[in-house]
């Protein structure tokens, strides 16, 4: 009987352990899953593939076109002919057929370098497609890293709320013991219970915030079950090694995706200008082909006819006047080139401003972390002293609550500064084109 009881107890423990078991996410797993499943990434990759498919010699007009056609037709007619010398001919149900086939090839020999320029433009569009995918990936990685550490932040704040509840429970226990001993009033007990209920309510709200942070991370990872519960492998917000502004600026100018895209767009606008300009040049087209025709006649001096042979054509032309549209297009295209240059400079200025602002916040937050850590240590010591004084009756309940609140606020403030520092670090890595380091370093 005892053995069976032990076996049943072990079975219950194992069952509860499996029910309570949760998935453990680390940062690399989150990023890897998001890169594989996130819908934005899949959509952008399809767009990139379209740009790659468009980058061909044929699409640029550098290859000939070859057409093969075939045709068969027939007629059934009643014919009545009045002859010049009198009389007439009548043919009822005259049946004629025509069978034809042709193979033709055409190619543009010269059109003002339009085809070559178009091919170069298609290559730039392919690169922009790759850069757009890269930007989407980088933004997703930044969002996942931020969401991952936000979950850790919310869990730490939840632990802070749990600690607040434990302090309030301890205070209520002290007040109840003192009330039973006659050294405290019922009012003090009731007030302690109010504080406990308030802290319990805050704990419940924070639990919901943690749950929301889980769902947000699951959404970014595009997991099938958005409601799956998990715990993070990391339990604290780790701040990476100190980032240097000069290095960040150098990496930003060389690898920032927005700057690279703006540069490529500027090049594309220059190619568009050349394509429009090429319309002013003469053009030369060539075409050749082979054709075969077979006819049958039911009422004629001959019943069959075969025709076959080669044909060729050279076409030379130049546009002399088109109502001023060519000149207008050239002017507009030139202005578009200027716009793309201005846009490039605007993007460059914007990322430089972002780098300065974010780095300033990053450096300031690093200093704040040290101050908040000192503040937390002081608040912890104050609470230990306050609890001892409260047990001895030399400290009021209101004063104890203030000391308790100061400690909780100090913890929350430290966590907030740590998270803001981490966000600044993520933004700096993103703007410098080094956001994938979070994936490689884990």
Which domain does 353 fall in, by range?
21-55+111-282+325-440
Q: What is the total count of domains within the chain?
A: 1
Residue bearing the bigger pLDDT, 109 or 439: 109
What average pLDDT is seen over the chain? Answer: 88
Question: Is position 338 within any domain?
Answer: yes
Q: Which of 143-147, 296-300, 340-344 has the lowest mean pLDDT?
A: 296-300
Please state the rounded mean pLDDT for residues 335-342. Answer: 96
Please write the tens of the pLDDT for every residue from 51-97. 999 999 999 989 999 999 999 998 887 777 777 777 777 777 778 89
The domain that contains 343 carries what CATH number?
1.20.1600.10
Say what the pLDDT of residue 21 is.
54
- Grade residue 214 by pLDDT with cuts at 50, 70 and 90: very high
Residue bearing the bigger pLDDT, 421 or 392: 421
Query: Between the ranges 75-89, 391-405, 425-439, where is the mean pLDDT highest?
Result: 425-439
- Grade residue 249 by pLDDT with cuts at 50, 70 and 90: very high
d(CA 394, CA 380): 19
Kind and range of the H or E element at 354? helix 325-391
Say what the pLDDT of residue 395 is.
83
Question: Is position 304 within any domain?
Answer: no
Q: Which of 15-19, 38-42, 49-53, 370-374 has the lowest mean pLDDT?
A: 15-19
Say what the pLDDT of residue 321 is.
87
Residue bearing the bigger pLDDT, 177 or 14: 177
Question: Is position 156 within any domain?
Answer: yes
- Grade residue 18 by pLDDT with cuts at 50, 70 and 90: very low
Question: Is position 305 within any domain?
Answer: no
Please state the rounded mean pLDDT for residues 175-203. Answer: 87
Question: Is position 169 within any domain?
Answer: yes
Question: Is position 303 within any domain?
Answer: no
Please state the rounded mean pLDDT for residues 383-400. Answer: 84
Say what the pLDDT of residue 12 is.
39
Question: Is position 370 within any domain?
Answer: yes
For residue 38, what are its two tokens? Answer: 């996130």
Q: Would the pLDDT of 16 be above 50?
A: no
Closest CA to 140 of 362, 347, 439: 439
Asked if residue 23 lies in contact with residue 217, where contact means CB atoms within 8 angstroms, the answer is no
Say what the pLDDT of residue 304 is.
86
Asked if residue 432 lies in contact with residue 351, where contact means CB atoms within 8 angstroms, the answer is no
Q: What percentage of the chain exceeds 70 in pLDDT?
A: 95
Question: Is position 198 within any domain?
Answer: yes
């Amino acid at each position: 009987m005892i053995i069976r009881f032990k076996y049943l107890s072990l079975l219950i423990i194992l069952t509860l352990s499996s029910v309570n078991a949760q998935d453990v996410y680390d940062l690399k797993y989150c990023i890897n899953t998001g890169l594989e499943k996130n819908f934005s990434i899949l959509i952008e990759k399809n767009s990139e593939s379209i740009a790659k498919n468009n980058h061909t010699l044929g699409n640029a007009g550098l290859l000939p076109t070859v057409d093969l056609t075939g045709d068969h037709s027939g007629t059934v007619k009643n014919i009545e002919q009045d002859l010049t010398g009198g009389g007439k001919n009548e043919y009822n149900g005259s049946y004629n057929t025509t069978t034809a086939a042709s193979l033709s090839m055409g190619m543009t020999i010269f059109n003002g370098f339009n085809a070559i320029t178009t091919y170069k433009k298609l290559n730039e569009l392919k690169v922009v497609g790759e850069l757009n995918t890269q930007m989407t990936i980088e933004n997703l990685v930044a969002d996942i890293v931020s969401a991952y550490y936000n979950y850790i932040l919310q869990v730490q704040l939840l632990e802070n709320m749990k600690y607040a509840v434990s302090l309030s429970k301890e205070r209520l226990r002290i007040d109840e013991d003192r009330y039973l001993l006659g050294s405290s009033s019922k009012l003090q007990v009731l007030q302690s219970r109010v504080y406990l209920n308030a802290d319990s309510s805050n704990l419940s709200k924070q639990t919901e915030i943690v749950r929301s942070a889980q769902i947000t991370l699951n959404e970014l990872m595009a997991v099938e079950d958005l409601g799956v519960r998990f715990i993070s492998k990391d339990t604290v917000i780790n701040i990476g090694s100190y980032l240097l502004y000069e290095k960040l600026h150098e990496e930003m100018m060389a690898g920032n995706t927005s700057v690279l895209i703006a540069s490529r767009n500027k090049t594309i606008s220059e190619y568009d200008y050349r394509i429009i300009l090429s319309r002013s040049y003469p053009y030369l087209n060539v075409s050749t082909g082979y054709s075969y025709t077979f006819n049958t006649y039911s009422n004629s001096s001959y019943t069959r006819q075969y025709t076959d042979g080669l044909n060729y054509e050279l076409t030379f032309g130049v546009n002399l006047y088109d109502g001023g549209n060519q000149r207008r297009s050239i002017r507009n295209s030139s202005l578009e080139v200027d716009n793309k240059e201005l846009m490039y400079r605007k993007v460059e200025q914007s990322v430089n401003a972002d780098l300065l602002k974010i780095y300033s916040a990053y450096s300031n937050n690093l200093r704040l972390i040290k101050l908040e850590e000192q503040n937390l240590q002081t608040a912890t010591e104050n609470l230990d002293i306050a609890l001892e004084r409260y047990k001895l009756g030399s400290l009021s309940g209101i004063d104890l609550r203030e000391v308790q609140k100061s400690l909780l606020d100090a913890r929350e403030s430290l966590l907030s500064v740590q998270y803001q520092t981490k966000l600044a670090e993520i933004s700096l890595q993103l703007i410098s084109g080094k956001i994938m380091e979070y994936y490689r370093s884990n």
